[in-house]
Chains A and B, each alone.
Chain A
C-alpha cells in the first residue's frame, strides 16, 4: 500500500459494466512525508474519499477484493482515508 492525495475525478460514460456506479479518482502518490512521488494515476474508490483527502491505496489483484463478490476490474483501489501519519525522525 502507499499514501496518495486525491487530486481529481474521472468521468467515463462508456465503461465496463462492472465499473458502473464506481467512483474513479485521480490520485497523486505520496511518500511518508507526504511529498509527491511518481506520476498521478486513476484509482477506484471504496471508502467514500473525496478531492483533497490523503488516502492509502492497494495495488494489484487485491485491489478488487473490497467489492467482492463483484469482480470489479481494477488494479488500484483506495482502501482508507488517512487521519494522521506519524513519522519518527530519529529512526530514519
Chain B
C-alpha cells in the first residue's frame, strides 16, 4: 500500500470526522484543536487515508473543509506565527462545491 496522501502537498478538500486528545505534545500545539480529517473528492467520495490537521476556523465534526498542507502557511494560520512543527491546517469551512 502506498502513501497517497503523504505525497500530496497541495490544498485539499476533506471532511472532519473526529479529533485527537494529546497531553504530551509539542508546546506550540497548546490550545490548538487537532482534528482528524478524511480527504474527499469534490463529489464527496473518500480520497485516501485520514490525516490530522490543526484547526484555525472553528471547524467541527461533519464539516467539509479546506486543508492546507504546507508548513509555513499551516503554522501561520493555526498559531498566528510561522516556525511551528505543523504541516497541515484547516483554513476554511466549505459552504458549497460546484463542479462543471
Contacts and interface: CB of A to CB of B under 8 A. Distances in A.
Most buried by A among B18, B20, B49: B20
Given A63-B85, A91-B62, A80 B25 contact: yes
Contacts, number: 125
Contacts of A86: 18-21, 36
Given A1-B86, A88-B17, A47 B6 contact: no
Given A32-B18, A38-B3, A66-B26, 4 more contacts: A29-B6, A38-B49, A63-B85, A80-B25
A37 B62 CA distance: 23
A22 interface: no
B49 A37 contact: yes
B19 to A, nearest CB: 5
**Secondary structure dominating the interface of B:** mixed
A48 interface: yes
Task: Please list the 10 inter-chain residue pairs (A to B) with the smallest Cβ-Cβ separation, ordered nearest first.
Answer: A80-B25, A32-B50, A62-B71, A87-B18, A1-B52, A91-B62, A80-B22, A79-B26, A65-B85, A81-B24
Contacts of B88: 1
A6 to B, nearest CB: 13
Contact of B83 (A47, A65, A77, A91): A65
B16 interface: yes
A4 B88 CA distance: 16
Interface residues of B, number: 39
A61 B74 CA distance: 12
Interface residues of A, number: 38
A53 to B, nearest CB: 9
Contacts of A90: 62
A42 interface: no
B66 interface: no
Nearest to A46: B26
